[in-house]
Chains A and B, each alone.
Chain A
C-alpha cells in the first residue's frame, strides 16, 4: 500500500490554488501512463495504481486480499481502500469519485452504479447472513429476534438502503416484527461499534463481523438463512488501468481471493 507522495499532493494542491483550468493539469497528471512494465514470473506484466471502494463488512478480507495481490503483482500499487456503507460508496462513485473497482455488500447498490452506465457485468463473489450482536454481558438478556422488539431494548441497525439495513428490515418483517432502532447507522462497522461499546443492547450485523470479536456475543436468529446478501464486484469503465482493475476482480473471484474470504466466514455465491 502506498500513500500519496508529497509531490503528487503538492501538485494537486497547487492545482486547486490556481484557476479551475489549471486543475486539468493535475487531473491529467494523476492518470499519467505507468512506467514500462517489468515481466513477472508468469510472463504476465501488471503495473499501475488501483483505487478500491469496498463495503465496510469486507475490511479484513479485502485488506488481506490487497496485500496478497500486491505480493503477486509487485508492479501494482493499491491505494488504501475506502470502506463504508455500500450506499455511501455508490453515491460517491455516481457523484464522480475516481474509482477502479467497487465491491458492494448487495446487488441493489451495485445496480445503482451499473444503472448509471459506469460498469458492466458485476460478478458475485461472496455471501453473508445476519446475526444478532449483543455486548458481551448481554444486559438486556437478548436470546431471540423477537427480543429486539421488546419495549426498552435499545437496538441499532444499519439505515435503510445500506445493505445490512435492507437485510435487517427483511429479516424483521419476515418474522412479523417491528423494531424502531435507537440509531440508524451508515455502515455495519458503526452498528458493531455501538454494540461493542455497550451503547446499544443489540444490533443486527453480518455473521462475518463478529467472528473473532471478544467484546460482543452473537446469536443466530431464526430465519437468518432466509436473508442472504450476495456481494458483487466490478471493474469500473473509467479505470485508468483497466487491465489491473480486471486482474484484481479476477483475483477476488478466483481461488486465492475465495480462500481468504471463506476463512473469514463468507459463503460462496
Chain B
C-alpha cells in the first residue's frame, strides 16, 4: 500500500482532483463573495438594529423550541423504528423521510390545509378560540415539520448500530424497561442523539419555505432570520446591509453547528 506521510492515499486517478476542486470552489466561492460584501464598519450596528435583533431572537427562540419538540417526539419515534421488525422499520423510515425530500413549501401548504381557517383541525381549534396559522406557534410547527426527520433518522441510525445485546443483558440481570432506556439505550445512542439534535436545530433556524406559507412574514411575530433576509432583498423591511450581516450570522451559526457535530466522536464522521 502506498503510504505518504503516514496516510494511505489509495489508487484513485489523480485527474479526479480537477473536478473535485471545481466542485469545492462552486460551494465555497459564493459564500466568500457574501462575506466580502459585509460592511465591516456597520456590521455591529446592522446586527444590533431593532429589526435584526427581533428576527434573530425570534429565530433562536423558535429554533430551540422546535428542537425541543423534535427531541420529545422524535426520540420515541426513533426507538420505535429501530426496534421494529425490518419491514415495518423500512416503511416507517420511508414515511419519516417524506418531509425531508418534499419542497418545504409543500409542507407549509399542508400545514395550512390542516390548521388553517378551513382546514381539518382549523375549524375545531377555531371553536375553542385557537388560531395557529400566522402566529409564532406556526413558526415552531413549520420548523418542527421540516427538522424532525433529521433527528429521527440520526437517532434511529445510532440505535440500530448499537443493537440490542446490552439491553438484553441488562434486562436478564433484572433491570426494568425504564432503567434499560436510561442507563443503556440512551447513553449508547448519545452521539447520534447529539448529532441529530444539532442538525435539527440548524435545519430549524434555516427554515424558510414552510414558514413563509404557514406562518407568514410579520416582523416580530413570524419574521425569522431567513424571512427577514428574503424581505430585505426584495427591498422592504430591514435594509440590505442588515440582511448581509444576518446572512453572515446564519453562516457562522451553521459552521459552528457542523463543527460541533464533527467534533463529537471524531472516529465516526459520517
> Taking beta carbons and an 8 Å cutoff, which residues of A are in contact with B?
3-4, 9-10, 12-13, 15-17, 20-21, 23-24, 26-28, 31, 51, 56, 59, 79-84, 92, 94-98, 185-187, 189-190, 192-193, 196
Contacts and interface: CB of A to CB of B under 8 A. Distances in A.
Count chain B CB atoms within 10 A of each CB in A79, A80, A95, A97 and give the residue with the most: A95
Contact of A23 (B57, B69, B130): B130
Interface string B109-121: 0001001110001
Contact of B217 (A79, A84, A94, A96): A84
B97 interface: no
B132 A13 contact: no
Nearest to B140: A16
Nearest to A82: B218
Interface of B: 50-51, 54, 57-58, 61-62, 65, 68-69, 72, 112, 115-117, 121-122, 125, 128-137, 140-141, 216-221, 233-237
A77 B68 CA distance: 32
B130 A189 contact: no
Given A79-B220, A94-B117, A23 B234 contact: no
Nearest to B232: A193
A98 B131 contact: yes
Nearest to B214: A95
Contacts of B236: 56, 59, 83-84, 187, 189
B220 A96 contact: no
Given A13-B62, A79-B218, A92-B134, 17 more contacts: A3-B54, A3-B220, A12-B136, A13-B65, A13-B137, A16-B136, A20-B121, A20-B125, A21-B128, A79-B220, A80-B218, A82-B219, A83-B236, A92-B216, A94-B117, A190-B235, A193-B234
B130 A24 contact: yes
Nearest to A187: B234
B199 to A, nearest CB: 20
B235 A28 contact: no
B234 A185 contact: yes
Contact of B65 (A17, A26, A59, A92): A17
Contact of A9 (B61, B131, B134, B234): B61
B18 to A, nearest CB: 32
Contacts of B69: 16-17
B135 A193 contact: no
Count chain A CB atoms within 10 A of each CB in B112, B133, B136 and give the residue with the most: B136
A13 B216 CA distance: 17
Contacts of B54: 3, 80
Given A12-B137, A15-B137, A192-B235, A95 B218 contact: no
Nearest to A84: B217
A95 B141 contact: no
B136 A189 contact: no
A27 B140 contact: no
Given A13-B61, A82-B217, A189-B235, A95 B133 contact: yes
The 4 closest A-B pairs by CB, nearest first: A193-B235, A97-B134, A80-B219, A189-B235
A96 B137 contact: no
Contacts of B130: 20, 23-24, 27
Contacts of B72: 17
Given A12-B136, A51-B218, A28 B233 contact: no
Contacts of A193: 233-235
A13 B135 CA distance: 10
A15 B68 CA distance: 13
